[in-house]
Structure 1
Amino acid sequence: MTGPSAHGDKAAPYDTFLAGLGRRASAAEYEQWARDHDGDPDAPRALIDAGWERSQAGDHAQALTLFHRALERGGEQSRNARVGIIEQLYELGRTDEGHTARDALRAELDAATPPDLWIYNQMAELLSEAADAQPQAALEWCEAALARAGAEDCGEDAAVHRQRLLVTRSVVREQLGLEPDETDQAAEAEADKEVAEAARLLGEMLANAPLITGPPAEDGPVDAVVLRWTRADFPSARRRWPQTTAGYGDDYGTYAAGLQRTADRWSTSGAVRVHMVTGTLADYDAYVRHSGEDPGDPETRTRYASWRAREFGQETLFWPPARNGPCWCESGQKYKKCCGEPARN
Structure 2
Amino acid sequence: MSSNDLVSLGELEYARRAISSGTSVDALVDRFLAAVADPALRTRDFDAGQAMVVVSEILEDAGRLDEALAVLRRADAEGIRGEYLDPAVWVPPMLHRLGRYEEAAAAFRELVKAGRADWTAYEVYAEQLEIGNDLAGALKILLSGQDRLLRQGHRRGAEILAVPLSRVQRAMGLPVDEPVDQDDWEEWDDEPDVREIFTGGVLHWPQADFGRLLTRWPGLAERIGADWDEHRTRTEKASAAFTARGIPAVLCHADYASFTAFAPDIVDEPPKETLDGYINQLHRQGATTRWPPERNARCWCGSGRKYKQCCRPRGFTA
Answer whether TM exceeds 0.5 for this pair.
Answer: yes
Give distance in 2, aligned partners of 1:32 and 1:211: 44
Question: Greater RCO between the two (CA within 8 Å, min separation 6)?
Answer: 1
- Residue 194 of structure 2 aligns with which residue? 205
Residues 1-345 of structure 1 mapped to structure 2, 5 A cutoff: 17-18=8-9, 21=10, 24-27=13-16, 31-40=29-38, 43=48, 45-52=50-57, 59=61, 61-62=63-64, 65-73=67-75, 74-76=77-79, 77=86, 79-83=88-92, 85-86=94-95, 89=97, 97-109=99-111, 112-114=113-115, 116-118=117-119, 119-128=121-130, 130=131, 132-149=132-149, 154=152, 158-180=154-176, 184=177, 188=180, 191-194=182-185, 205-206=194-195, 209-210=198-199, 212=201, 227-230=203-206, 233=210, 236=214, 240-241=219-220, 252=231, 253-259=233-239, 276-279=252-255, 283-284=256-257, 288=260, 292-294=264-266, 296=270, 301=275, 318-319=289-290, 321=293, 323-329=295-301, 334-337=306-309, 339-340=311-312, 344=316
- State the SS of the aligned residue for 2:253: strand
- Against the structure 1 CA distance between its residues 99 and 292, is the aligned structure 2 distance closer, same or farther, given a 3 Å change threshold? same
Give distance in 1, aligned partners of 2:263 and 2:147: 60
Give distance in 2, aligned partners of 1:244 and 1:117: 30
1:240 alignment partner AA = G
Equivalent pair of 1:67/1:82 in contact (CA under 8 Å): yes
TM superposition shift of 1:82: 0.9
- Against the structure 1 CA distance between its residues 53 and 259, is the aligned structure 2 distance closer, same or farther, given a 3 Å change threshold? farther
TM superposition shift of 1:293: 3.6
Aligned length: 275
2:199 alignment partner AA = P
Structure 2: runs of 5+ lacking an equivalent: 1-5, 20-27, 40-46, 80-85
TM superposition shift of 1:172: 1.9
Give distance in 2, aligned partners of 1:290 and 1:188: 41
- Against the structure 1 CA distance between its residues 81 and 33, is the aligned structure 2 distance closer, same or farther, given a 3 Å change threshold? farther
Percent identical pairs in the alignment equals: 19
Structure 1: runs of 5+ lacking an equivalent: 1-14, 213-225
- Against the structure 1 CA distance between its residues 310 and 65, is the aligned structure 2 distance closer, same or farther, given a 3 Å change threshold? farther
- Against the structure 1 CA distance between its residues 65 and 206, is the aligned structure 2 distance closer, same or farther, given a 3 Å change threshold? same
1:142 alignment partner AA = L
TM superposition shift of 1:260: 5.3
Give the root-mean-square deviation of aligned CA atoms. 5.0
2:70 alignment partner AA = H
- Against the structure 1 CA distance between its residues 278 and 263, is the aligned structure 2 distance closer, same or farther, given a 3 Å change threshold? farther
Give distance in 2, aligned partners of 1:276 and 1:126: 33
- State the SS of the aligned residue for 1:37: helix
Equivalent pair of 1:328/1:335 in contact (CA under 8 Å): yes
